[in-house]
Amino acid sequence: MTSSSSSCGSPAVLTEPAAPAVLTEPAAPAVAIVACGALGAHVREIVARRGWDVRICCLPASFHNRPRQIAPAAERLALALQRAGLRVALAYADCGTYGELDGLCERLGLARLRGLHCYDVFAGQRRVRAELEAEPGTYLLTDFLVRSFRRSVLEPLGLDRHPELWADYFGNYRRLVWLRQSANAGLDDEAESVAAMFGLPLDVIKVGVSGLERELESLLGVAAGASGE
């Protein structure tokens, strides 16, 4: 974030009238991040902590329930930002778009997060692949999913109204893994509540946000390089 500082010393003896101060507006960010809403809170925290001067624009996390909506919405937003003179980075993995986001990146000269989904971003592609190969019937959770399971999963699938359909959607899962980003103890009860719905024990893997932070740093480097900086 852009910041300014000043220091105060002993009063100076002025022999001429002081020139009027010239006030300047802080420079507007040159880069915008178009982010998945499910990553938005983490992206904002990382950007603020690192002091990056970027604009963050989040698309609805609910698009994950209809991935065909992601690329068109991201394209409309990216084009608007580019017309406003900003360089754009895409804080999405493939996220079920089956290459549509890659096509968008190629058309508009963007870069996105590596991986098939946010699980890869947080835990690393090799680790996620290993977990799924060890037990193909693994359901993965993130902090966002733990916090919003009813809103993000139950309600869109209609399971809040028709719980008898639970087995049709989730009956084949054999393992529940929480890729935990934060140490917020307030999420523990919510995670156990989700595990109770599955009737499965909860495995917790502490992954933090370092993977996402590295990916964002790389994205911003690509965006800056696109202008020759």
Q: Is the pLDDT of residue 9 over 50?
A: no
Q: What is the CATH number of domain 31-116+210-225?
A: 3.40.50
The average pLDDT across 97-104 equals 97
Give tens-digit pLDDT for 167-214. 999 999 999 999 999 988 889 999 999 999 999 999 999 999 999 999
Q: Is the pLDDT of residue 228 over 70?
A: no
Q: Is the pLDDT of residue 127 over 60?
A: yes
The average pLDDT across 72-90 equals 97
pTM: 0.83
Task: Give all strands of the β-sheet with 87-91 in edge-to-edge order.
Answer: 54-59, 31-36, 87-91
| Average predicted confidence (pLDDT) for the chain | 88
Paired with 36 in beta bridges are 59
Give tens-digit pLDDT for 19-66. 444 444 445 679 999 999 999 999 999 999 999 999 999 999 999 999
Q: The tokens 């699938």 sit on which residue?
A: 157
The average pLDDT across 91-102 equals 97
Domain ranges of the chain: 31-116+210-225, 125-206
Residue 148: other Cβ atoms inside 10 A: 18
